[in-house]
Amino acid sequence: MKRLVILGGGESGVGTALLGKEKGYEVFVSDKGKIKKKYKNVLLNNEIEFEDEQHTVSEILNADIVMKSPGIPDKVALIKQIREAGIKIVSEIEFASKYTDATLIAITGSNGKTTTATLTHHLLKQELEVGLAGNIGDSFAKQILEEDYRNYVLEISSFQLDDIYEFQPKVAILTNITPDHLDRYDYKFENYIASKFRIIENQTKDDYFIYDADDEVITTWLQNNQIQSKKLPFSLTQVIEEGAYYKDKKIIITIDNNQTIMPTENITLEGKHNIKNAMAASTVAHLLKIRKQTIRESLENFQGVEHRLEHVLKINKVQYINDSKATNVNATYFALESMNAPTVWIVGGVDKGNDYRELFQFVNEKVKAIICLGVDNKKLIEAFGNLVDVVVETQSMNEAVKVAYKIAYAGDNVLLSPACASFDLFDNYEDRGRQFKKAIRNL
């Protein structure tokens, strides 16, 4: 019996444990932190061995294969020991994909991947059996075990791509590449770029690669590297013969001489970046033969993603907007770009080596006050202190929202778009976004 050791007892870990057991592995789950009660119960009910708040090295180094949670960096001593012992380490996406012959649509990118994945799923589910997994929703492994859909839309991070070998999506989407998570890639942008492009490394000429042709990082890489898959770029600025482009408020998609034209006046998502997300998602729908009418209607009734430019409430004619999912500078760039009123901006958290200069033009034009929300705000104050008159430091979400309430006038926006990770004061970006919404409702 082959032994599968799983590091991390969260959604992907427990999903992999269930699938592994079903497929005849001897399974052991080990988590250095505390495993949540709901996941513990699943492991107990399925008689799967586990430990938490420790890693027993002897129980791990006897594995045939290790699945590690994407949150564990390669630098960790235990991971080095496993690699030195010659044991293969895989991600959940790699492990689970072996057990399905469904059509896989894999989406990665520094920003926009959640919106693009959710929107693609929304377009496809009207006519096809389709699961949504990866960084989002129920784990991929668990869905293969329980639902076994014919199609999956997978939102995939670079950390999950770091541990693939044979993973081969039918359709790969790369939304964009901007410096992010550089702390995990030896502060080398080229390492992070290489990681993102692994999404297409096993594709053949029968597979498709959808990408942003306006993104210089992507187009430069493609000029210097040969790929097998059929390219379907999308663009806001140039006419695309095979793929999608935007002109006169219409999205025009062409694949194999078959053309679809989508008016965008009634699309619910706002902002240029969301036109790109809509182009990518519609290209997939077009490839999978979803009816044009269905694509059109679905774009018009899509509700967007929680914590991504989510309009929470209007109080005294001030609009409060939750963009907690903006954990890097580029995401906040899109948020500030889409503001059309004077904005009180709540920013800060764990800085991943951010360069704030690209935000200066929008801060000058649109931001009337900055509220720093983090344990260490020094870098923010150095970057923006001279650009706005009001900079306030806060240590809790309630405090930040109360300050915003005092500073904002009728007609203003209050925007939470942190440009940083959340782990200094919050569990994760969802926790941060929910605390923001709760604090607003308490006003």
Mean residue pLDDT of the chain comes to 93
The confidence score (pLDDT) of residue 291 equals: 93
Residues 293, 315 within the same domain: no
- The predicted structure's pLDDT at residue 394: 93
Same domain flag for 272 and 138: yes
Do 109 and 236 reside in the same domain of the chain? yes
**Average pLDDT of the segment spanning 291-315:** 90
Q: How many CA atoms lie within 13 A of 3 on its CB side?
A: 12
Domain boundary residue among 36, 55, 90?
90
Contact indicator for 15, 93 with CB cutoff of 8 Å: no
pLDDT score at 349: 92
- Which of the given ranges, 92-106, 177-191, 303-317, has the highest pLDDT on average? 92-106
**Would the pLDDT of 186 be above 80?**
no
Domain termination site, one of 54, 74, 90: 90
Instruction: Quote the pLDDT of residue 343.
Output: 97
Closest Cα partner for 370 from 393, 339, 391?
391
Return the structure tokens found at 2: 């082959």
User: With bands split at pLDDT 50, 70 and 90, how would you rate the model's confidence at 129?
Assistant: very high
Q: Is 226 exposed, middle or buried (0-12, 13-18, 19+ CB in 10 A)?
A: exposed
Strands 65-68 and 88-90: parallel
CATH number of the domain enclosing 350? 3.90.190.20
Query: Can you tell me the distance from the alpha carbon of 395 to that of 144, in angstroms, rounded to the nearest whole number?
Result: 43
pTM: 0.82
**In a shared domain, residues 319 and 437:** yes
Please report the pLDDT score of residue 138 as a whole number.
86
pLDDT for the residue numbered 192 = 87
Report how many domains make up the chain.
Answer: 3
Of 90, 105, 134, which marks where a domain is finished?
90
Q: Label the pairing between strands 258-263 and 343-347.
A: unpaired
Residues 420 and 329 in one domain: yes
For the cut 80, the answer to whether the pLDDT of residue 97 exceeds it is: yes
- The CATH number of whichever domain residue 48 belongs to comes to 3.40.50.720
Parallel, antiparallel, or unpaired: how do β-strands 250-255 and 243-247 relate?
antiparallel
pLDDT confidence of 431, banded at 50, 70, 90?
Answer: very high
What is the structure's pLDDT at 357? 92
Whether residue 353 is found in the same domain as residue 204? no
Q: What's the pLDDT band for 67 if we cut at 50, 70, 90?
A: very high
**Whether the Cβ atoms of residue 38 and residue 58 lie closer than 8 Å to each other:** no
Residues 249-268: tens digit of each pLDDT: 999 999 998 998 988 888 87
Rounded mean pLDDT of 331-351?
93
pLDDT recorded at residue 292: 92
Do 337 and 363 contact (CB within 8 A), yes or no?
A: no
Residue 352 has pLDDT above 80, yes or no: no
Q: CA separation (Å) from 126 to 274, 285, 335? A: 21, 10, 29
The pLDDT, as a whole number, for residue 306 is: 86
Greater confidence (260 vs 179) lies with 260
Number of Cβ atoms within 10 Å of the Cβ of 346: 29
User: CA-CA distances (angstroms) from residue 437 to 113, 178, 268, 282, 420?
Assistant: 23, 28, 21, 31, 18
Residue 137: band (very low, low, confident or very high) from pLDDT cuts 50, 70, 90:
confident
User: What domain range is 56 assigned to?
Assistant: 3-90
Whether residues 155 and 269 fall in one domain: yes
Whether the Cβ atoms of residue 379 and residue 351 lie closer than 8 Å to each other: yes
425, 395 contact by CB (below 8 A): yes
Domain containing residue 139: CATH number? 3.40.1190.10
- The pLDDT assigned to 58 comes to 94
Tell me, yes or no, whether 123 and 210 share the same domain: yes
154 and 268 fall within a common domain: yes
The mean per-residue pLDDT over the stretch 317-333 comes to 93
Query: What value does the mean pLDDT take over residues 395-402?
Result: 95
- pLDDT tens per residue across span 27-54: 999 999 999 999 999 999 999 999 999 9
98/74 same-domain check: no
Same structural domain, 262 and 134 = yes
As beta bridge partners, residue 107 has 155, 173
pLDDT score for 435 = 96
Q: Are residues 271 and 220 in the same domain?
A: yes
